Chain A
């Protein structure tokens, strides 16, 4: 037997054995399934966040993303070269969401800003001493600020305020709105006087802080985005300038030239990724508002 073949057989056997060992060592399927779900959940959350920020449903947003990718691929296909197909597909996949995500984040921040006047109005209504918290919430939802109107819609004619608050948080998908819903759920069974005191002493200062944090996060994100835009624009201008010269375009039309273009694209994406990594952000803890409702119900059960 050839020694090379013998060596290959040994390597194959060792690799198979290691794969089996790895499968045994990494544990049972439920844990790996949970890990997969844990990996997928932030991605899905992000898509839901952008969709709700734009005021669209998740299906509409995902359809738009799919359509943008398709248009990119088709555009590239019409031009013909593989690099252009890849570039257009990447453009469709990343550029359209990138542009729209900024708009969604801005709208979310505006919605969060409207939450503090909402709470102040709530305190004012309760301060008159003629309404309960439930009634005041319904009334405010009927005459809500434009920025909050869509999120507060479930409160307008709600039978159960706690169910409506869970729905509000599901529609709004903002950490600050989640927090407001949780605080309202926790305060539902308190007297109006106690609630007013709490809001003035505890909640409004806390929301002010949260808003400042959100604003700083947003400012950092916008800064990073502008830097990224700068990188892309400079590269695009250079690309157009190079491609307008016949001799240079001829070099890039070769196989090696195409490979180099792909490498340049990868480097640009790397720089954008690095910029994103460098952008400071303060992450938020997410509340499970439905769990709060259940806990509150169980409290009296």
Chain B
């Protein structure tokens, strides 16, 4: 069979060169380039990134880009690092694992005289750490979202007590209970939002605030809920808006919300319990593996000895 490595390499390099030329505008006619320059100057062209423009046309794609965006996951997971720092860290992990595997391969080769595994296999295993890091980041973000939802859902009754006498507004009651949680996730989130509201930090939350813009607490909570995908914060903000617009009693609204949330939680747990049944059966089924191994191993050994 002919060696295809060189043609494939040439093809890939050619493809990359073509893409680079296309993106740098080498194939764009001069008149189009000139029009783009004029359009940009008069703000007639759409300068947003490609994924945003595609997202406008295909909402499902926009949702996908949003869900998988690493900077957003880093913000939700409350990681202080930016996208570049995260990428560098992942690259270091990948290289470290690859180097460790190559070292083991090398040590083993010293006794055998040849490499037990091709170096490409070590590189592939090392590269596996990149998606693993992404999945870990996603898990961390989801955990924080759940913790935030839980922190709000399980504090509604206490907020109702605080607002009962009218000494506290819903927002100040939320601040109060956030300071009383053992995990300070909610307090961190509210403090970040306040700081963001006070002076719009570059690279901070994407709340869409101008540096001197004043927003109502309800709007800030709504935007935080959307930005962080914290369902309870969004729900609380909706109820706060109802309180403000229709003059409802805060403690009554919070109590109702608490009851509804509790019922939903119980229903979710019941669903989870039902879903867990087949999985539990599968886990017990897995017990066949050690059982078979325990029984069959002596048989295999005996057969092996007999043939020897």
Q: Identify the A interface with B (CB < 8 A).
A: 4, 7-8, 11-12, 14-15, 18-19, 21-22, 25-27, 179, 182-183, 186-187, 190, 194, 198, 201-203, 205-206, 209-210, 212-213, 216-217, 219-220, 223-224, 227, 230-231, 234-235, 238-239, 242, 247-248, 251-252, 256-257, 260, 263-265, 267-268, 270-271, 274-275, 278-280, 282-289, 291-292, 295
Contacts and interface: CB of A to CB of B under 8 A. Distances in A.
A257 B297 contact: yes
Contacts of B301: 251, 256-257
Contacts of B13: none
B242 interface: no
A282 B269 contact: yes
Given A235-B291, A278-B276, A283-B150, A182 B269 contact: no
B298 A280 contact: no
Nearest to A178: B182
Q: Give the interface centre of B88, B268, B286 by most chain A CB atoms within 10 Å.
A: B286
A287 B297 contact: no
B151 interface: yes
Contacts, number: 187
Interface in B263-296: 263, 265-266, 268-270, 272-273, 275-276, 279-280, 283-284, 286-287, 289-291, 293-295
Contacts of A289: 180
B180 A182 contact: yes
A278 B283 contact: yes
Contacts of A285: 147, 150-151, 154-155, 181, 183
Given A216-B270, A247-B302, A286-B181, 19 more contacts: A18-B95, A18-B99, A179-B158, A201-B255, A209-B263, A220-B269, A235-B291, A238-B294, A248-B298, A251-B298, A251-B301, A265-B290, A267-B293, A268-B287, A268-B290, A274-B286, A285-B147, A285-B155, A295-B179
Contact of A190 (B92, B157, B165, B258): B165
A143 to B, nearest CB: 26
Contact of B269 (A27, A213, A242, A256): A213
A288 B182 contact: yes
B291 A234 contact: yes
Given A206-B258, A216-B266, A216-B273, A264 B293 contact: yes
Nearest to B274: A280
A198 B161 contact: yes
22 contacts: A11-B99, A11-B103, A15-B100, A15-B103, A27-B81, A179-B158, A190-B164, A201-B255, A205-B259, A213-B266, A213-B269, A220-B276, A231-B287, A234-B291, A235-B294, A239-B294, A247-B298, A252-B298, A284-B150, A285-B150, A285-B151, A292-B180
Given A182-B158, A231-B284, A213 B290 contact: no
Contact of A235 (B251, B262, B276, B287): B287
Contacts of A239: 294
Contacts of B279: 278
Contacts of B80: 27
Nearest to A12: B103
A18 B284 contact: no
Range class of the B interface residue count? 35 or more
Contacts of A21: 88, 92
Given A287-B182, A292-B180, A278 B280 contact: yes
Nearest to B162: A186
A46 to B, nearest CB: 14
A227 B301 CA distance: 32
A102 to B, nearest CB: 17
A101 B100 CA distance: 41
Contact of A22 (B93, B109, B151): B93
Interface string B237-262: 00000000000000100010011001
B259 A209 contact: yes
A205 B109 CA distance: 69
Given A271-B286, A292-B180, A295-B180, A14 B273 contact: no
Interface in B71-111: 80-81, 85, 88-89, 92-93, 95-96, 99-100, 102-103, 106, 109-110
The 9 A-B pairs at the shortest CB distance, nearest first, are namely A280-B272, A209-B262, A267-B290, A286-B182, A251-B298, A285-B154, A264-B290, A278-B279, A292-B180
Contacts of B273: 216, 219-220, 280
B200 interface: no
A201 B146 CA distance: 28
A242 B284 CA distance: 21
Nearest to A279: B276
Nearest to A289: B180
Given A198-B161, A278-B276, A267 B284 contact: no
Contacts of B293: 260, 263-264, 267
B129 interface: no
B205 interface: no
Contacts of A11: 99, 102-103, 106
Given A22-B92, A198-B161, A4 B291 contact: no
Interface string B153-172: 01101101110110000000
Contacts of A264: 290, 293-294
A224 B276 CA distance: 10
Q: Give the interface centre of B160, B182, B183 by most chain A CB atoms within 10 Å.
A: B182
